[in-house]
Amino acid sequence: MEPNEALAELMSLSSQVEDVAILGGSGFVLASSGTPERGERLARIAAELLAAAADVRPSGDVSRVEVALESGSVFVVSEGGRSAVATTVAAPTAGLVVYDLRTALHRLDEGKPPKATRKKKDADDA
């Protein structure tokens, strides 16, 4: 599924997500629910939150960050080399938001042809 399709599906299903961006492996914006500038701002926020969380937990990969504020929350979910960052309504159901973001990331892999694999040459063929 294309990033814009996954984002549109997420926005239509999740009543708690207000703004979202789907990011590629190096943090570039694949799709955003807002303006390109807003998508870039969400990408910077995601990078900063993931870096701060990695400083707190240097021994492991950070796959989820949640910042709860009185007016809403910010979530970052990383999986499969990509990330989704979202702002939400006040007091969201955190597990549901994380599930929705992970589902959107998984949907990116649907419909892609399988990667071609190379067979190792036998030692006798060399």
Q: Residues with Cβ < 8 Å from 68, sequence gap 6 or more?
A: none
Are β-strands 82-88 and 72-79 bridged in parallel, bridged antiparallel, or unpaired?
antiparallel
6 falls in which pLDDT band (50, 70, 90)?
very high
Predicted local distance difference test score (pLDDT) of residue 117: 54
Instruction: Give pLDDT, residue 73.
Output: 97
pLDDT digits (tens, 9 = 90+) for 102-117: 999 999 988 655 555 5
Domain ranges of the chain: 3-108
Half-sphere exposure in the Cβ direction for 13 (13 Å, CA): 13
Query: How confident is the model at residue 110, as a pLDDT?
Result: 82
**pLDDT score for 28:** 92
Q: Which pLDDT does position 14 carry in this prediction? A: 93
Which CATH number does 3-108 carry? Answer: 3.30.450.30
Q: Which residue type is seen at 93?
A: T
Kindly report, residue by residue over 42-99, the tens digit of the pLDDT: 999 999 999 999 898 877 788 999 999 999 999 999 998 999 999 999 999 999 999 9
Round to whole Å and give the CA distance between 118 and 126.
15
Specify the pLDDT at position 115: 54
- pLDDT on residue 109: 87
